[in-house]
């Protein structure tokens, strides 16, 4: 299973765009990139998932370059409520696959 590397922490200010990059050099053909968000004292919540190029939903965008060795989660115009830990996961397209969480990126949004 591909190991992921992401920054331990990031700071931002309200209204800014935040980009969190994740490295997954050993990603395999059947692997997808998935991001979860975890607020303090809550369980993680699915944000977005993609295989290549760009995926966008109402919460975030996910950019994946052609070589797929990294990906970038983009949060547009963050607010204080976006302060959370963001986990990048590589997920195998296989029904039996289990999620492996790393340490995540702790995002602090300041006023």
Partner 1 sequence: NAGVTQTPKFRVLKTGQSMTLLCAQDMNHEYMYWYRQDPGMGLRLIHYSVGEGTTAKGEVPDGYNVSRLKKQNFLLGLESAAPSQTSVYFCASSFTGGLYEQFFGPGTRLTVL
What residue ranges bind partner 1 (CB under 8 A)? 32, 34, 41-46, 49, 87, 91-104
Closest to partner 1 by CB, 5 or 14: 5
Shortest distance (Å) from residue 15 CB to partner 1: 28
Shortest distance (Å) from residue 106 CB to partner 1: 9
Expressed in angstroms, the distance from the first to the final Cα of the chain is 39
Closest to partner 1 by CB, 81 or 111: 81
- Across the strands, what pairs with 90? 33
Closest to partner 1 by CB, 51 or 61: 51
Closest to partner 1 by CB, 13 or 101: 101
At 26, list the tokens: 């050993």
What are the backbone dihedrals phi and psi of residue 81, each rounded to the nearest 5 degrees, phi first?
A: -70, -5
Q: For residue 15, is it left (φ>0), alpha (ψ between -120 and 50) or beta?
A: left
Contact yes or no for 87/38 (Cβ under 8 A) = yes
Shortest distance (Å) from residue 14 CB to partner 1: 25
At 58, list the tokens: 């109402």
């Amino acid at each position: 299973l591909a190991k992921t590397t992401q920054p331990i922490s990031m700071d931002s200010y309200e209204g800014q765009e935040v980009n969190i990059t994740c490295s997954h050099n050993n990603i395999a053909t059947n692997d997808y990139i998935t991001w979860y968000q975890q607020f303090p004292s809550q369980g993680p919540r699915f944000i977005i998932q993609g295989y290549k190029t760009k995926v966008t939903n109402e919460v975030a965008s996910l950019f994946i370059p052609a070589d797929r060795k990294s990906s970038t989660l983009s949060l547009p115009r963050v607010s204080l409520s976006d302060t959370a830990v963001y986990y990048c996961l590589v997920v195998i397209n296989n029904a039996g696959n289990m999620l492996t969480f790393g340490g995540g990126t702790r995002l602090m949004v300041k006023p």
